Amino acid sequence: MGYHEFMSTKKQFIGVAAGLVLGTSLTVGHNVLATRADTNTLPMEQLRTFTDVFTRIKRNYVEEVSDEELLEYAIRGMLSGLDPHSAYLDGEQFKELRIGTSGEFGGLGIEVGMEDGFVKVISPIDDTPADRAGVEAGDLIIRLDDTPVKGLSLNDAVKIMRGKPGSPLLLTIVRDGTDAPLKIEVVRDIIQVSSVKERLLEDGFGYVRISTFQTKTTRSLEESIEKLVKLNEGNALKGVVLDLRNNPGGVLTAAVGVSDAFLEDGLVVYTDGRDRDNHLSYSAHRGDLIDGAPLVVLVNEGSASASEIVAGAIQDHKRGIVMGRKTFGKGSVQTIQDLPNGGAVKLTTARYFTPEGRSIQAHGIEPDIELGRFNLQERDGGAVDPLSEASLSGHLSNPEDEEATTEAKAADAQSEEAEEEKPVTGAELAKRDYELYQALNLLKGLNIVKR
């Protein structure tokens, strides 16, 4: 359930679940498992082993297990063994995935994955209970109320995190730089994700924050730019900071739309897989929302999938400057193939590539200007290795690198996002968000050069 990009060849929708997900490209297929003939014979020895194990469990396991349960476990294991993003969705999970496309769901408001049997926070969603309670990117959740997380599947953990709005959940968290586990109580709520926010920084320089890529994100971006022009007394903007930090991904077409909003033409992204149906490409159309004004894209280790598509497109077309830290490296496409039983198979079917043919898988996007990790060292006394696609067990390799790197650069804590719409002074901005302060300084410099 809930990996972000859910794309039919003709129809798209986002799947964000409470407390779940890395950003990924998802494609919807309908009963496509038998579209290609396979002349390979089944391995009889392995089938005999499977039957033998199945029989031993039925006879000797300490508790009685039904055939249906065992077969479902086998299906789940078969898919989870492929890579971290392929999975079997039962009817309930598939339904939750579709419900999530509205951008409204119940829960805590955190994007998570599994690491070493525990739930690891990719990032809290802006303005959600988890965000307000102080949950941070990189936190490792080891207990949900009195239930240990170790041994639970990610879906089971998500079910616990979901619940009636207004009900509390006590998270026991291990955080790098702290001597003992933290206990943070989060009160569940209906999560309504507003994917785009904007404000005027100062003297004609705009700021747009995209927290997730939803079906309406492109239109929301257009409205945000219109608002910024009005706030700038109707004058054209001198430059824009596009903030994609800790954005775990979203609808593929939204990523294309956001890229298109700043590009005049050219390729945005293409996908490549074994099946011809997975050879797709998306291009920009004429028209730049800010008429060529300087653009700075902020990214970090929490920027994944759709965020990386945008950053990669802007970078390859040299339309703007990508600033921050190396991104997550989620460059694969998952296809949702519905099953007769009401469930679905989520199967990795392709990798996506930037306009210049770079695969982001397990590599991420290297920023044009890298920002240091001062804030984290000041607060925690040391650097923390961030969670990335390359650090996930069983991740797909990058086709450009037979041994994709399994280490990512150290990361700092998520910068706090200011709530006010009004402009702020440079000193105040630097104190509240050092990375944004540096992006604004860069925009000013680019604006002078442009003149």
Q: How far apart, in whole angstroms, are the C-alpha atoms of residue 436 and residue 396?
A: 33
Distances (CA, A) of 363 to 12, 329, 331: 26, 5, 9
Q: How far is CA 155 from CA 15, 85, 93, 135, in A?
A: 14, 12, 8, 20
Which listed residue (159, 197, 330, 346) is catalytic? 330
Q: Are strands 87-89 and 104-107 parallel, antiparallel or unpaired?
A: unpaired
Name, in order, each residue with C-beta under 8 angstroms of 318's C-beta and a sequence gap of 6 or more.
Answer: none
Between CA 19 and CA 131 the distance in angstroms is 12
How far CA 354 is from CA of 235, 281, 335, 341, in Å, comes to 33, 10, 20, 37
By the 10 Å C-beta count (0-12 exposed, 13-18 middle, 19+ buried), 354 is classed as buried
Nearest to 251 by CA among 209, 218, 280: 218
Helix, strand, coil fractions of the chain, as percent rounded to 5:
30, 25, 45
CB atoms within 10 A of CB 157: 20
Name the catalytic one among 305, 307, 332, 359.
Answer: 305
Residue of 154, 220, 214, 165 whose CA lies nearest to 188 = 165
Which residue, chain included where needed, has tokens 């586990």? Answer: 181
- Pull the structure tokens for residue 336: 């949702």
184 dihedral zone (left: phi>0; alpha: psi -120 to 50; beta): beta
Q: Would you say 187 and 196 are in contact if contact means Cβ atoms under 8 Å apart?
A: no
How far, in Å, CA of 128 to CA of 197, rounded?
14
Verify whether residue 316 is a known catalytic residue. Answer: yes
164 is catalytic: no
Of the residues 90, 131, 139, 316, only one is catalytic, namely 316
Q: Residues, the chain, total?
A: 451
Whether 330 sits among the annotated catalytic residues: the reply is: yes
Helix, strand or coil, per DSSP, at residue 415: coil
Q: Which two tokens stand for residue 7?
A: 């794309």
Catalytic site positions: 305, 316, 330
